[in-house]
Amino acid sequence: MKLTVRVWRQAGPAAAGRLVAYPVDGISPDMSFLEMLDVLNQRLIEAGDEPVAFDHDCREGICGSCGVVIDGRAHGPERTTSCQLHMRSFADGDVIDVEPWRAQGFPIIKDLVVDRSALDRIVQAGGYVSAPTGSAPDAHATPVPKPDADLAFDNATCIGCGACVAACPNGSATLFTAAKVTHLSLLPQGGPERAGRVLDMVDAMDAEGFGGCTNTGECVASCPKGIPFTSIATLNREYLAATRAGRR
């Protein structure tokens, strides 16, 4: 395959950025998108040019590090992570635009790399269980209804990639926060800190400068792990109940 890749190049947070076009040929349809970027970077290095900075780690769709906007869509044309997107999703001769996540809460560091530590701070505000629970209980000692267990697991699969934020026209982190709140609110261990958790996490989300949710659904359509839209309703319900109870 022979492609033209237009990549966002930005030397640093305060520098001006722009799309730069690079021809890339000899690309196998079986390569992942990140492998294609590796080929591009190798050729840039050989030519004495600065390689494109982009985030990656496991390259197995697990860590959530590899997020980029491809042709205007978070993670690209398939509902998967960028590292699991293969070049067979494109046609020979295509022009592909590659940009970083765009959100106030995700400042650009360099090229395609953004600072997503805001998501870590939202979790640090309450996305955990700290109440003493004693030693590990025997299996099935604390029964959890299967629908609750299944839904908790579905929300626990969130990898914090930030695609929901990048896809949202408001730059909202509501789906991410909702996944963390819903996961723990459905389990007995999350009960003691339930009210304070949702209040603190929503406060932290707002403090990071993320936009508000207007239920457009782009977050769900772009989520590689399929976090359900109903989680946002759960977040709103938990927040309202905690606010009315005056709990912290």
Residue 220 and residue 121 in one domain: yes
In this prediction, residue 107 carries a pLDDT of 96
Last residue of a domain, one of 109, 144, 168: 109
What percent of the chain lies above the pLDDT cut of 90?
90
Compute the average pLDDT of residues 40-54: 98
- Give pLDDT tens digits for 138-179: 766 778 899 999 999 999 999 999 999 999 999 999 999 999
The pLDDT confidence band at residue 75, using thresholds 50, 70 and 90, is very high
State the DSSP string of the chain: --EEEEEEE-SSTTS--EEEEEEE-S--TTSBHHHHHHHHHHHHHHTTPPPPP---SSSSSSS-----EETTEET-SSSS-GGG-BGGGS-TT-EEEEE----TTS-EEETTEE--HHHHHHHHTT-S--S---SPPPTTSS---HHHHHHHHHHHT-----HHHHHSTT-B-HHHHHHHHHHHHTSGGGSTTHHHHHHHHHHHHHHTTPBPP----HHHHH-TT---THHHHHHHHHHHHHHHHT--
Last residue of a domain, one of 109, 143, 167: 109
- Give pLDDT tens digits for 174-208: 999 999 999 999 998 899 899 999 999 999 999 99
Give yes or no for residue 131 having a pLDDT over 90.
Answer: no
Residue 96 and residue 17 in one domain: yes
Last residue of a domain, one of 109, 125, 157: 109
- Write the CATH number for 228: 1.10.1060.10
Domain that holds residue 207: 117-245
- Give pLDDT tens digits for 91-121: 999 999 999 999 999 999 999 999 999 999 9
Residue 54 and residue 89 in one domain: yes
- The mean pLDDT value of the chain amounts to 95
Residue 172 and residue 155 in one domain: yes
Residue 156 and residue 102 in one domain: no
- Write the CATH number for 68: 3.10.20.30
In this prediction, residue 247 carries a pLDDT of 62
Residue 141 and residue 160 in one domain: yes
Residue 150 and residue 61 in one domain: no
Q: How far is CA 82 from CA 54, 55, 70, 139, 220, in A?
A: 11, 10, 9, 38, 16
User: For the chain, how many structural domains are there in total?
Assistant: 2
Residue 39 and residue 158 in one domain: no
Residue 94 and residue 136 in one domain: no
Residue 146 and residue 176 in one domain: yes
